[in-house]
Amino acid sequence: MLTGVLYALLAGLMWGLIFVGPLIVPDYPAAMQSTGRYLALGLIALPLAWFGRQRLRQLCRADWFTALKLSTVGNLIYYVCLASAIQRTGAPISTMIIGTLPVVIPVFANLLYSKRDGKLPWRRLAPALVIIALGLVMVNTAELRTGQLDFSWWRYISGIGLAFISVACWAWYALRNARWLRENPDKNPLMWATAQGLAILPFSLLGYIAVCLWMSRTNSDFTLPFGPRPEVFLALMLAIALFCSWLGALCWNIASQRLPTVIVGPLIVFETLAGLAYTFMLRHSWPPLLTLLGIVCLVIGVVMAVLTKPQKSTLAEVVVVTDK
């Protein structure tokens, strides 16, 4: 349990860097950042795949198809929608919607995987979820007070829709990825993270080429293929691909194998906390009091959720006894 929580914490610290990338290269379109990030991930996965080729041979065609679906939905589409939502609605509103993941994932995990992982009693889980939700509202309310946004109904509504699509994509990814890892305890999490990077490589390459072709037609002033600041863009894409996409996924895979899905879900709150910490570091300022109170609520809610032990159903216990 403790090891799984620590790996989830490391994953959150890595994933928090995702919110820094768009702030460093705001002049780059979201599609270019997303395809560039996962193209870099695929290139990083190539030498890792060579050294781990024996383990990768253990994967069947269905496993590779699952890796492709996970990478496409939970990585490529998720990040395109997230970056686009931030550009359309502003970071605070999009963050408020994405920040509901620690509540969305455990709720659906409790509904879908309770027979396998055990069910957390709703009367015990509900207080933790309420406290997490309260903390998220407080943090984002503080951010909205300082937000500056040129309002447009079309951009606002479309941005809200894209943010909800991001939530759906990552919630599905977290649940489906955890299910595969729990069903395949003999498979190495490092190998599975590498497989997902390999699976997305050809699609991210085609996507990056398509974005460059589109940019050449719509924005002739934009330097291609790596934009006006190629050294910054390339270094950033490689860093995010290595630390966020590959290493973060590796840590999350290990946590998903060690913890029930309904417990590992709330631990994604570490990503929100890390993103907030990195943002205030870039601003060279301390968070306001309301933000600090929200962070305290987030931590308390996560601790309550982790300390709540799943209860096996009566049917599951009967099956176990019969098998014995």
The predicted-structure confidence for 3-33, as pLDDT tens digits, reads as follows 888 998 899 889 888 877 777 888 888 889 8
42 within 8 A of 299, measured Cβ to Cβ: no
Flag whether 246 is in a domain: yes
In this structure, of 7-21, 232-246, 300-314, the range with the lowest mean pLDDT score is 300-314
C-alpha to C-alpha distance for 87 and 91, rounded to whole angstroms: 7
**What's the pLDDT score for residue 63?**
92
119 phi/psi in degrees, rounded to 5: -110, 130
How much is the average pLDDT of 147-152? 56
Flag whether 148 is in a domain: yes
Q: What residues does 21 pair with on adjacent strands?
A: none
Q: Which residue has the higher pLDDT, 162 or 280?
A: 162
Q: Which residue has the tokens 């659906």?
A: 108
The CA distances from residue 174 to 101, 144, 167, 238, 250, in Å, are: 10, 28, 11, 23, 13
Res 147 pLDDT > 70: no
C-alpha to C-alpha distance for 112 and 179, rounded to whole angstroms: 10
DSSP H helical ranges for 243-288: 248-258, 261-264, 269-283
Q: Which residue has the tokens 């928090």?
A: 16
Q: Which domain holds residue 78?
A: 1-307
How much is the average pLDDT of 142-154? 65
CA end-to-end distance (rounded Å), the chain: 26
**What's the pLDDT score for residue 17?**
84
Task: State the burial class of residue 192 (Cβ atoms within 10 Å of its Cβ: 0-12, 13-18, 19+).
Answer: buried
Flag whether 282 is in a domain: yes
Angle between helices 91-98 and 153-183 in degrees, nearest 10: 30
Flag whether 181 is in a domain: yes
Flag whether 317 is in a domain: no
Q: Which residue has the tokens 């509540």?
A: 103
The predicted-structure confidence for 246-267, as pLDDT tens digits, reads as follows 888 888 888 888 887 767 777 8
- The DSSP output letter for 152 is -
Radius of gyration in angstroms for the set of CA atoms belonging to the chain, rounded to a whole number = 20
DSSP per-residue letters across 108-142? HHHHHSHHHH-B--HHHHHHHHHHHHHHHHHHHHH
pTM to 2 decimal places: 0.75
Flag whether 301 is in a domain: yes
206: how many CB neighbours lie within 10 A of its CB? 12
Res 97 pLDDT > 80: no
User: pLDDT grade, residue 277 (50/70/90)?
Assistant: confident
Flag whether 318 is in a domain: no
Flag whether 320 is in a domain: no
**What's the pLDDT score for residue 36?**
92
C-alpha to C-alpha distance for 151 and 155, rounded to whole angstroms: 8
Count of domains for the chain: 1
**What's the pLDDT score for residue 146?**
66
The predicted-structure confidence for 123-132, as pLDDT tens digits, reads as follows 777 888 888 8
User: pLDDT grade, residue 323 (50/70/90)?
Assistant: very low
Q: What is the mean pLDDT of the chain?
A: 81
**What's the pLDDT score for residue 324?**
37
Q: What residues does 119 pair with on adjacent strands?
A: 311
In this structure, of 33-42, 229-238, 267-276, the range with the lowest mean pLDDT score is 267-276
Res 310 pLDDT > 70: no
